[in-house]
Amino acid sequence: MLRMRLIVGLSMATLVLVALCVDGWLSSLSPAPWTIGGVDLMRFLQRGGIATLLLLGFSVATTHELLGFAKLLGYRPQGTLVHCFSAGLVVGPYVAFNLPQKYALGNEAWGMLWLALALGLTFFLQAVRRGTERTMVNLATSTFIIFYCGGLAGFLTKLRMEVGGPLGIALLVYTILVVKMTDTGAYFTGRLLGRNKMVPWLSPKKTWEGFVGGLVTAIAVAILVGFWLQAAGFRSRDDVEFTPSILVLASFGLLMGLFSVAGDLSASLLKRDAEVKDSGTLPGLGGVLDVLDSPLMAAPVAWFFWTRLVNLGLSST
């Protein structure tokens, strides 16, 4: 099982990393028009297109898995609408950034409007198709999946777009790496030293020793990789350098570690409720939710940390 998990996990990580590296490489090139039918496709590729498509694919797959959970529980969310609005929250920051300046109302404004439209249409379709049948449960399920799968993943798009340039994609990879290394550190520390269970009824294999090991791993990886990013000279779209102190890097690692664990436990709660062991059928990994649970919960924190607290890329929003 561990061998299959490592093979599938490393293969997936390699493919994702290659795609994101291509995205970063394209963003570092000078504008080179590639026009088809009057549309400059290269402009869209150079400004976050590949990263956005990748995040969209993972978000759509996670949405599909959670809709499956809802079906198992007897709920009836609006499946097509949920997929549409969840995808919109992922793609929205990319579209908003690439719109002409006169339409640039700010990503937050577009996101709030999109959520309001989603809620309104969910009410309408519930009334037309199902009347008062489990109204609150169906509405809550639909809006929850939209926000969880689309809204949280959208913060990764926002991070990539707002910072921009090679640094934008580097911070996206950096965030995911620190989060996933938290899982890895917790897993191996728990196997070697784990004695005291964290939440045995929810996640029997998680221990407090593994939790501490995961946080230590997150902080160490955040500092080491952060210094490497500084040495490599990654810059944002506005030519801003990446020069955080060791305290800032350690703080980022600690936050990612904490929210990584929170994301993992949240997904376990959803699976327990649906009475399923894995969210999907990825060999050795379970499902896409099992892969994205931690990055999803950490995504808004990473976005806020780098674009609001550290102030990278704010001039371009």
The pLDDT tens digits for 35-64 are: 555 555 667 777 889 999 999 999 999 999
Mean pLDDT of 22-27: 85
**Is the pLDDT confidence value at 266 over 50?**
yes
**Is the pLDDT confidence value at 123 over 50?**
yes
Nearest partner of 199 among 255, 148, 263, 268, judged by Cα: 268
**Is the pLDDT confidence value at 106 over 50?**
yes
Mean pLDDT of 260-278: 91
The distance of Cα 93 from the centroid of its chain, to the nearest Å, equals 13
Cβ burial of 76 (10 Å; 0-12, 13-18, 19+) is middle
Q: What is the DSSP code string of 126-191?
A: IIIIITTTTHHHHHHHHHHHIIIIIIHHHHHHHHHHHH-HHHHHHHHHHHHHHHHHHHHHHHHHHH
Are 172 and 156 spatial neighbours (Cβ–Cβ below 8 Å)? yes
Nearest partner of 214 among 245, 251, 248, 253, judged by Cα: 253
Are 33 and 40 spatial neighbours (Cβ–Cβ below 8 Å)? yes
Are 50 and 22 spatial neighbours (Cβ–Cβ below 8 Å)? yes
Dist. CA 128–CA 216, nearest whole Å? 52
Are 178 and 221 spatial neighbours (Cβ–Cβ below 8 Å)? yes
- Grade residue 264 by pLDDT with cuts at 50, 70 and 90: very high
Are 213 and 193 spatial neighbours (Cβ–Cβ below 8 Å)? yes
Mean pLDDT of 203-216: 94
**Is the pLDDT confidence value at 133 over 60?**
yes
Q: Which of 25-29, 91-95, 166-170, 185-189 has the lowest mean pLDDT?
A: 25-29
Dist. CA 295–CA 259, nearest whole Å? 8
Q: Which of 37-51, 210-224, 258-272 has the lowest mean pLDDT?
A: 37-51
Higher pLDDT, 211 or 33: 211
Q: What is the pLDDT of residue 110?
A: 79
3-state secondary structure of 47: helix
Q: What is the pLDDT of residue 317?
A: 36
Mean pLDDT of 103-122: 80
Are 282 and 134 spatial neighbours (Cβ–Cβ below 8 Å)? no
Q: What is the DSSP letter of 286?
A: B
Show the CA angle centred on residue 18, arms to residues 64 and 279, nearest 5°.
Answer: 20
- Grade residue 315 by pLDDT with cuts at 50, 70 and 90: very low
Q: Encode 91-119: b = buried (16+ Cβ within 10 Å), e = exposed.
A: bbbbbbbeeeeeeeeebeebbeebbeebe
Q: What is the DSSP code string of 24-41?
A: HHHHHSPP---EETTEEH
Mean pLDDT of 227-255: 92
Mean pLDDT of 225-246: 90
Identify any residues that bridge with 155 across adjacent strands, giving them in sequence order: none
